Structure 1
Amino acid sequence: MSSSDKTSSSAVNGNESSVKRDTASPLFGQRILQHFEFDPGHRNLNHGSFGASPRAIRKKLREYQDLAEAKPDQFIRYDTPDILNECREATAKLLNVPTETVVFVVNATTGVNTILRNIAWNDDCKDEIIYFKTIYGACGKTVDYIVDSGLGRVSARAIQIDYPQEDEEIVTTLKNTIEDCVKDGKRARICIFDIVSSLPAVRFPFEEVTKLCKEKGVLSLIDGAQGIGMIDLDLRALDPDFFVSNFHKWFYVPRSCALLYVPVRNQALIRSTIPTSHGYISNSGERFNPLPKKNESPFVNNFQFVGSTDSAAYLCVKDAIEWREQVLGGEARILEYIHALAKDGGKKAAQVLGTEVLDNKSGTMSRCATTNVALPLEVEEASQASDWMMETMMSEYGTFIPLFIHNGRPWARISAQVYLDIDDFEWAGRTLLELCTRVKRGEYKEA
C-alpha cells in the first residue's frame, strides 16, 4: 500500500493536532469535516473548482425545494421574491453596498456573459476589450465570441503575465496597454481582470487595477469567481463598474449561485438577463409580466425570475452567512485560518517535493487561500503526463489536484479550507512526489 492510500481514517476521524486559533474560536481542521458530506475515501484538496456545501446548508436547500414542490405557485410566485430580497440584503451588508446593486446569477461565467453581451459597442469600430492572458478559459472564450459576433465593432487586446511579477509591474503594463490602444486609434472600453486567478491561483492586484481603470475612463469588470469567502471585500471602497463572484465556491452555498454587482450608475447598461425573461423592458413597450411580485428597481426585477430554473441555491445565501458566523466564528476567523494554511501548507508541500511555491518577493501573490507548488518534472514530461497524473489521483489516491504549466514550469494548485490542516498539505506533497516518480519511470506511457 502506498502512503497515499491512507486517506480515509485521518481525513474523517480528525486528529488532536488540528489548529486552534484561541479558546473562544471554533476548532478548524479535520474535525470540521463532520459538517460536510465528502466520501470517506476522498480528500478534498481542490475546493477552488467546484466548492462544497455543509450538510446544514444543503438541508436548507432541500427545504426550499420541497416548498416549491408542495405549493409551486405559492412558493415561486409569492414567497421566493421575499426570500431573495432577504438574501440580497444580507449580501449587500456583507459587501458594504446598497441592496439594489446586488442580484443573483447561476455562476460567475454567466455574470461575465451578461455584462459583455449587454454592452452596446460603438459603430466607429474603435472599442476594445482588454484582458490578461491568465483569464479564466470560459471567460476568454466569451471575449472571443463577442469579438467574432461583433461585426468588427469591437476587438480584444491581451496582456501577457509571466508570474512571479510584482503588482506594480502589472499595473504599469496595463497603463501602457491602454496608452497603446490610443496610439493604435482604438478605445479601451472595458478591462476584465480577476481577484484570484484560476491557473495559476494567485491574488491579482485588483484594487490598484480598478483605480487605474477609473482614472483612464475604462470600465472595470472584476471576475471574482474566487473572491467572496476567500478575500475580504468592501465593494463600496473598491467601487468597480461590474463585479461577479461565485457563492458556491468559497462561501459554502450549494451549486449554482453567484452574485452580480452593478452600481446604480451602470444599471441602465444591463438591459437583459441571459436568457431574456419576463423582466425585460423593450424600447417598443412593456409586454405582460405574469409574475405578481415586482421589485421597484427595474434592474433587480429583471433578475428576480429568469425562467423556471431551480433558484433554491440563491435562497441559501443568508443561511450560509449565518452558518459561517455561528459555526465557524465569522469571516475574519475563516480568512485568517485559510490564508495562513495556504501559505504554511504550500511551504510544507514544496519542502516534501524539494521545489518551491509560486510567489513574488513582496508576497502579495500568496495573500489568498490557494497555493501553487512547483513539480520536480521537466515541462515536456509534465505536459505529456498531466492528464494521466490527474486521473490517477482520482482512481488510486482519492483526491484531485489541478496541474498546469506556467512560465515554462509545471505546477500543482492546492486549495486551503477550514476542514483541512497542515497534515493534508504534507500528504499532498507526498502524493505528488510519488506520482512524479512514477512519471519518471514512464508509467503514463503504458496507460
Structure 2
Amino acid sequence: MSAQVSGKTPFGRQMREKHFDLDPTYRPLNHGSFGTYPLQVKAAYRRYQEENESRPDYFYYRIRPARIYEARQAIASLLHADVKDCVFVKNATTGVNIALRNLEYESGDVIVYFATVYGAVWKTMVSLQETTPVQARKVEYALPLTHDEIVQRFLDVVNKARAEGLKVRAAVFETITSVPGVRFPFEKLTRICKDEGILSVIDGAHGVGQIPLNLGELDPDFFVSNCHKWLYTPRGCAVFYVSKRTQHLIKTSFPTSHGYILPQDRANPPIAKGETPFEHLFDFVGTNDDAPYMCVPEALKFRKEVCGGEDAIMEFCQRIAHEGAEVVARILGTEIMREPGVTDLKQSDLCRCAMVNVRTPLAVANDAVNPHVPDPSTSPYPAIDRKDVRKVQDWMQSQLLDKYNGFAKFDPQSGWLWIRLSGQIYLELEDFEWLGNVAKELCERVGKGEWKSDEKDLSTF
C-alpha cells in the first residue's frame, strides 16, 4: 500500500519522519494502548509547561482557566456536544469511576457489563460490590459475534435480573473494546438503555479520533474518551461528557476537590458567572499539569492542516489496519476476526474501526470454543493450557518489545491466541509484514516450548 497524500505530508513513512518523534528503529503497531502525539503538539505542550514555570501564580489564576475553556469548546465542537456538558479528566478509567462511584446504590441494584470489559473497569465494579449493595452482572460471549447477538445477550441479562426482582441501574459498555479490538454496538445499546430506563455509561477510551462521534445524536448519560490515544494529545487527557439530565448525580470529582459543593450552612467559594455546578466541580481538581488538556486545539489543528481532517485520518487508519491485517493473516495462514459469513472487512461491523485482530496458529486448551472459528485441535502446535496462556502472551509481548523492538497486543479468545493490530497515519504495509514474520517466528518458538525456560518476570503486561 503506497502512502496516501492528504494535506501537506503523505501518510506513512514520510508522516512518521517529519511529524513524529518515534525511534526510527521501533515498530509501533500498538497505538491503541498509549497513543503518541506529533511534534507540533509537543511544541505546544512544552510551551505551556514553560509558561507555567515562568509565572506559576499568573498561569494558574489568569491563563489556565481561559485555555481549559478553549480546549473544552474545541472538543465539544468535535463531538457535537454542548461545552457545558464536557469537562476534562486524566483518563477513561477516571471518568468511568466518577460516573459509577457517584451513584447511590440500594439493595437489589445491578450494573450490567460485558465479557470484553476493560480490566480496570471490571475491577472498579468489584470494588463497588465490596463497598456498596450493588451487584454486577456480566453479559457472557466469545467473539466473533454479530452486533445483534451482543445486543440480544444484553437484553437477556437485563430481563433475567428483572425477573429476579432486581433493578438494572446502569450498563457499562465500550465504543471499541480494548482486547480484542473491535467496534461495539454502542449506538444500539445506548438507545435500548434510554428505552429501558437504564443509565448508559460509555467507556469510549478508543473512540475520539478513531471513529466519528456525535454525542448530540447519541445522547448517552455518561461518556468518556481518551484524547491521548487517537486524537494526538499528550497523556493524560480525556473528555468526560455528562448529559444535563444526569449532571445532578455527579456530586464530586475524584479526588474530591475545590469544586465540591458543601452543605448550605458552610462557606463555599463563589461559582464563576455562567458556570454550572457540574463545570465548577471539575474546574480545579488539585494542582496538576493540565497542559495536556490545553493541547486539544493544537492537536485538532494538526489533524486539519497537516492531515487533511478527521475523515482523511479515519479512512486511512481503518484501511491500513484492514490491509495490514490481511498481510499478517496471510503470513500466519490464519484469519481476521469478523462476523460469521462476512468476507469483505468493509462489511464487518466489528471491523469498522482502526484496530483489527488476527488469529495466530496457537490454540488455547480448555477455553470457550466458538463455532465461528476453526476447531483448536487443528493447530499445528501443542495447545496452550488455559492456566499458562497469560505466561505465553506475556512472554511473546516481552520478546516483541525487548528482542525485536516493536509491539502488538496478544489476547486469548474463542480457543485461540489473537494479535491486536492498530492502524495509524505513520504506518505502512511493510510494518505489518514485519510484524507478521516476527509473529510467525514467535509462534514457532512457543510451539517448541521456549517460553517455559525464560524465568524473567513477565508480570508487567
TM-score category of the 2 structures, normalised to the smaller one: over 0.9
Q: 2:439 aligns with which of 422, 426, 432?
A: 432
CA contact (8 A) 1:358 1:371 kept: yes
Q: Which amino acid aligns with 1:422?
A: L
Deviation at 1:137, TM superposition (A): 0.1
Q: Which amino acid aligns with 1:160?
A: E
CA contact (8 A) 2:45 2:234 kept: yes
1:275-301 deviations in Å (ceiling 9; x for gaps)? 011111023445344x99676111111
What is the alpha-carbon distance in structure 1 between the residues aligned to residue 439 and residue 348 of structure 2? 24
1:69-114 deviations in Å (ceiling 9; x for gaps)? 1111111112111111111111111111111000000000000001
Structure 1: 5+ residue runs without aligned partners? Answer: 1-16
Moved more, 324-333 or 337-346: 337-346
What is the alpha-carbon distance in structure 2 between the residues aligned to residue 116 and residue 323 of structure 1? 34
Q: Where does residue 209 of structure 1 map in the other structure?
A: 189
Deviation at 1:330, TM superposition (A): 0.4
The answer to whether structure 1 residue 90 and structure 2 residue 74 are counterparts is yes
Q: SS state of the match for residue 407, structure 2?
A: coil
What is the alpha-carbon distance in structure 2 between the residues aligned to residue 342 and residue 238 of structure 1? 26
Q: Where does residue 331 of structure 1 map in the other structure?
A: 310
Distance 1:43 1:287, change over 3 A: farther
Moved more, 400-409 or 243-252: 400-409
What is the alpha-carbon distance in structure 1 between the residues aligned to residue 159 and residue 412 of structure 2? 30
Q: Which amino acid aligns with 1:109?
A: T
Q: Which amino acid aligns with 1:100?
A: K
What is the alpha-carbon distance in structure 1 between the residues aligned to residue 86 and residue 295 of structure 2? 15
CA contact (8 A) 1:193 1:222 kept: yes
Superposition pairs of residues 268-283 of structure 1, within 5 angstroms: 268-283=248-263
The answer to whether structure 1 residue 140 and structure 2 residue 119 are counterparts is no
What is the alpha-carbon distance in structure 1 between the residues aligned to residue 395 and residue 257 of structure 2? 43
CA contact (8 A) 2:38 2:232 kept: yes
Deviation at 1:161, TM superposition (A): 2.1
CA contact (8 A) 1:26 1:329 kept: no
Q: SS state of the match for residue 435, structure 2?
A: helix
Q: 1:128 aligns with which of 84, 88, 110?
A: 110
The answer to whether structure 1 residue 47 and structure 2 residue 31 are counterparts is yes
Deviation at 1:388, TM superposition (A): 1.5
The answer to whether structure 1 residue 20 and structure 2 residue 4 are counterparts is yes
Superposition pairs of residues 135-214 of structure 1, within 5 angstroms: 135-150=117-132, 152=133, 154-214=134-194
Deviation at 1:424, TM superposition (A): 1.2
Q: Which amino acid aligns with 1:371?
A: V
The answer to whether structure 1 residue 416 and structure 2 residue 423 are counterparts is yes
1:15-73 deviations in Å (ceiling 9; x for gaps)? xx632257x67411111112111122211110010000111101111111111111111
Deviation at 1:415, TM superposition (A): 0.6
What is the alpha-carbon distance in structure 1 between the residues aligned to residue 275 and residue 186 of structure 2? 32
CA contact (8 A) 2:412 2:418 kept: yes
CA contact (8 A) 1:247 1:257 kept: yes
Q: Which amino acid aligns with 2:350?
A: M
Distance 1:293 1:215, change over 3 A: closer
Q: Give identity over the alignment, percent.
A: 42
What is the alpha-carbon distance in structure 2 between the residues aligned to residue 161 and residue 294 of structure 1? 49
CA contact (8 A) 2:67 2:294 kept: yes
Q: Where does residue 61 of structure 2 map in the other structure?
A: 77
TM-score by length of 1: 0.92
Number of aligned residues: 425
Q: SS state of the match for residue 371, structure 1?
A: strand
What is the alpha-carbon distance in structure 1 between the residues aligned to residue 13 and residue 267 of structure 2? 54
Deviation at 1:340, TM superposition (A): 1.0
Q: SS state of the match for residue 403, structure 2?
A: helix
Structure 2: 5+ residue runs without aligned partners? Answer: 365-382, 455-461
Q: Where does residue 285 of structure 2 map in the other structure?
A: 306
Q: Where does residue 9 of structure 1 map in the other structure?
A: none
The answer to whether structure 1 residue 32 and structure 2 residue 32 are counterparts is no
Q: SS state of the match for residue 362, structure 2?
A: coil
Q: 1:446 aligns with which of 441, 453, 459?
A: 453
Superposition pairs of residues 397-412 of structure 1, within 5 angstroms: 397-412=404-419
What is the alpha-carbon distance in structure 1 between the residues aligned to residue 71 and residue 239 of structure 2? 10
Q: 1:59 aligns with which of 43, 47, 51?
A: 43
CA contact (8 A) 1:277 1:306 kept: yes
CA contact (8 A) 1:78 1:293 kept: no
TM-score by length of 2: 0.89
Q: SS state of the match for residue 348, structure 2?
A: coil
Q: Which amino acid aligns with 1:430?
A: N
What is the alpha-carbon distance in structure 2 between the residues aligned to residue 285 and residue 26 of structure 1? 60
CA contact (8 A) 1:167 1:205 kept: yes
Distance 1:59 1:282, change over 3 A: same
